[in-house]
Structure 1
């Protein structure tokens, strides 16, 4: 069975792994956010950094918005963390972003883990 958006998620993860190889762990999330913006640009990967996404309730638009770290290729949400280990709250956050955007695929990448970046793939 083929993975949905396999090439796109592979390209995103490749950029994430390069940032991790270059910076290691121990920095705050904002540092990795900026490094990924540079890496995506260098690789020619289309992305929007920290887009403001409308939320709705019973058909009404809310004043509050959600802000995923990245939307890549217009189809994949990338949420990054810089924590010791991923927790269920991080997974729930990404799943909620997928629901809010009606996108199907999300990646959760943790730059705070040693000796390798953690990553999880979600499909709704």
Structure 2
């Protein structure tokens, strides 16, 4: 994928998140928003995997972990869903680590416990994004 394609996919994900938030409002469990967002994306023909187990390569071994990725969209963008009063630096660190482990160029940290998804959502990119073609 190119940077432009990843960026467009990111906008599409955010649009779907806004739709889910408008319909459901804040205050539900993360798992509810995750399933509804996955549904909206699939309805648009986007490939979505959710609750993906994360393996970690450490030294010469591969470790099965209890870590789960909320959503992986088109095998490119990781979406981490929260329902918290405010996003903390640890939430961003968690997403950046997932992006590094899975070698994905972009992540979206979306908090559904808000009045405005757009203002509270945090997009993150890493070195894999900078290596993509324009």
Q: Where does 1:29-68 land on structure 2 (aligned, <5 Å)?
A: 29-68=30-69
Q: Which residue of the partner structure matches residue 24 of structure 2?
A: 23
Task: Please say if residues 47 and 71 of structure 1, whose CA atoms lie closer than 8 Å, have aligned partners that are also in contact.
Answer: yes
Task: Please say if residues 108 and 122 of structure 2, whose CA atoms lie closer than 8 Å, have aligned partners that are also in contact.
Answer: yes
Give the Å deviation of 1:50.
1.1
Secondary structure of the residue that 1:106 maps to in structure 2?
A: strand
RMSD of equivalent CA atoms: 1.5
Q: Where does 1:1-124 land on structure 2 (aligned, <5 Å)?
A: 5-113=6-114, 115-117=115-117, 118-124=120-126
* TM-score normalised by the chain length of structure 2: 0.85
Encode CA deviations 1:30-59: one digit per residue, 9 max, x unaligned.
111111122112222111111112111113
Q: Which has the higher helix share?
A: 2
Structure 1: give runs of 5+ residues left out of the alignment.
none
Secondary structure of the residue that 2:121 maps to in structure 1?
A: strand
Q: Distance in 2 between matches of 1:68 and 1:55?
A: 13
Structure 2: give runs of 5+ residues left out of the alignment.
127-134
Segments ≥4 residues shifted beyond 2 Å:
none
Give the Å deviation of 1:4.
6.9
User: Cα 1:122–1:3, aligned 2, differ >3 Å: closer, same or farther?
Assistant: farther
